[in-house]
Amino acid sequence: AVRRPETRKLFVFRSGSFLCCHWLKRKQRNKSDQCYSDWFFFSSLVVCSENLNFLHYLSWNSHPILFSEMSRRPLIAGGALVAGVAAAAYAIATAFDPSPRATVDQIRADGGEALVLRDGRVVEYFVHGDPQGATTLVALHGAQTTGKLFALLAPWASKNGVRIIAPTLPGFGLSSFAPGYVLQDWVADMHELLRDHLRLERFLVLGTSLGSIHAAALAGLYSPSDAVLNVELYVAMAPADEGYDPPKGSVLDVFGRMRRFPLAKRLFEKLLVMPLMRRLMPRDGDVARSIRTQWEGMASCADVIYQPWPFDWRSMARDRRVIIVSGRQDTAAPPHNQQRLHSQIVGSTLIEYDGDHQRGLEEPDMMAEHVALLL
């Protein structure tokens, strides 16, 4: 018998769904339980979709009394409601599931280097500029980027004999995240990377945006303290102490306010912000890379901004030069942050430019001029 077009279409749909589920199951076989739950959820949606498709088929091809125009709509609407509730329940149940941990081979295949820490976590880092340079610059990126970002300074670094070591912050790119980590924990990781693994005796520090908080922590907590030479805080965030609110007036203010509602904040980031960023940002860009496999870095940004600085940051410039760079039209790290840092850090230097938060990334030559002040 000749298969009717509608029946053939349904057969192809069901066969394709089965093959997709089978492929996903095989792909995820050796991965985490989260992957199995992802496969189960996908399979459930496929089954639900198949049922809706089948109901739709019946409504057009069965007895008109049983599946009339009026009875077909509630069936489809009810199925869609069930699928929506199931999707929402799944999103809530898996909102805080940890991201899979990257391997050393994955990091090296993506152009980076890796160090496995004592507790098994992995730190990803990149080397830019002159690998044999006499001067070492530790460069720390901001939110939604990775250490790969500082390739933009590679021409300047190669020309000036500077080796750039650019670690990726926890939860971004392929650097493992540690739940509840604070600045002291991150500096301990840097002891393993910079002092024990790379055996750096002296180095300059550059911190951009969120990375400026980590740069300040290196200056205040790293041991030995004289290993940290000059420090540049680029479009920096000031500490949230004495009632001061760093994101006030910025586009990030909403994330700070949502910290009181962690589940709502996580769902907002997981279901809206990150999918939009992954879709709108260039797939081969550093922003997309920073959130491709992990959500923890982005989700913890507000916690990093608001955590206390457990060191005497006001005396940061006592034994070194501290340069603070500010964009007058910056709406991500508003200028009041850099002005507060400059007014409180005795002996610091404030450099201002006309432009927003991203201008230094869009104009690497300008950023290189500012970074050259560290030498």
Tell me the pLDDT tens digit for each residue of 39-69. 334 444 444 444 444 444 444 444 444 445 5
At 163, is the pLDDT very low, low, confident or very high (cuts 50, 70, 90)?
Answer: very high
Q: Degrees (nearest 5) of the Cα angle 75, 81, 83?
A: 105
**Residues 166 and 131 sit within 8 Å (Cβ to Cβ):** no
Least Cα distance to 185 among 299, 302, 322, 310 occurs for: 310
How much is the average pLDDT of 302-311?
94
Q: Which residue has the higher pLDDT, 237 or 280?
A: 237
Using the predicted structure, report yes or no on whether residue 1 has a pLDDT greater than 70: no
**Residues 331 and 250 sit within 8 Å (Cβ to Cβ):** yes
At 72, is the pLDDT very low, low, confident or very high (cuts 50, 70, 90)?
Answer: low
Using the predicted structure, report yes or no on whether residue 159 has a pLDDT greater than 60: yes
pLDDT of residue 75: 63
pLDDT of residue 33: 38
pLDDT of residue 332: 94
Sheet with 228-234, edge to edge strand ranges: 113-116, 122-129, 162-167, 135-140, 203-208, 228-234, 322-327, 349-353
| Three-class DSSP category at 30 | coil
Token pair recorded at residue 352: 């201002």
Give the lowest-confidence range in 173-182, 223-232, 283-292, 356-365.
283-292
How many Cβ atoms sit within 10 Å of the Cβ of residue 65? 7
Rounded to an integer, what is the distance from CA 196 to the centroid of its chain? 26
CA–CA dist 341, 232 (Å, integer):
12
Token pair recorded at residue 161: 């004999």
Token pair recorded at residue 93: 């149940």
- pLDDT one-digit tens code per residue, 16-40: 544 444 444 454 444 443 443 343 3
Prior bond of 282 cis (ω within 30°): no
CA–CA dist 308, 238 (Å, integer):
10
Helix (H), strand (E) at residue 275: helix 274-280
How much is the average pLDDT of 193-197?
97
Using the predicted structure, report yes or no on whether residue 244 has a pLDDT greater than 50: yes
pLDDT of residue 95: 65
| 283 to 192, 279, 287, 290, 362: CA distances (angstroms) | 32, 8, 9, 11, 18
Q: Rounded to two decimals, what is the model's pTM?
A: 0.77
Q: Degrees (nearest 5) of the Cα angle 176, 180, 184?
A: 85
Strand positions, DSSP E, 267-328: 322-327
Q: If you average pLDDT over every residue of the chain, what do you get?
A: 82
pLDDT of residue 96: 72
**Residues 37 and 98 sit within 8 Å (Cβ to Cβ):** no
How much is the average pLDDT of 291-317?
92
pLDDT of residue 253: 85
Q: Which amino acid is at 192?
A: E
Using the predicted structure, report yes or no on whether residue 113 has a pLDDT greater than 50: yes
pLDDT of residue 375: 96
Least Cα distance to 156 among 360, 353, 365, 351 occurs for: 365
**Residues 118 and 176 sit within 8 Å (Cβ to Cβ):** no
pLDDT of residue 73: 63
pLDDT of residue 320: 97
pLDDT of residue 76: 65
Could you tell me which residues come within 8 angstroms of residue 356 by beta carbon, excluding any fewer than 6 positions away?
327, 329, 330, 331, 332
CA–CA dist 263, 95 (Å, integer):
8
Using the predicted structure, report yes or no on whether residue 314 has a pLDDT greater than 70: yes
pLDDT of residue 312: 96
pLDDT of residue 348: 98
Residues above pLDDT 90, as percent of the chain = 57
CA–CA dist 337, 340 (Å, integer):
5
Token pair recorded at residue 19: 């093959």
pLDDT of residue 271: 74
pLDDT of residue 59: 42
Q: Which is it for strands 122-129 and 162-167: parallel, antiparallel or unpaired?
A: antiparallel
Prior bond of 224 cis (ω within 30°): yes
Using the predicted structure, report yes or no on whether residue 221 has a pLDDT greater than 80: yes
Could you tell me which residues come within 8 angstroms of residue 24 by beta carbon, excluding any fewer than 6 positions away?
38, 39, 42, 43
At 261, is the pLDDT very low, low, confident or very high (cuts 50, 70, 90)?
Answer: confident
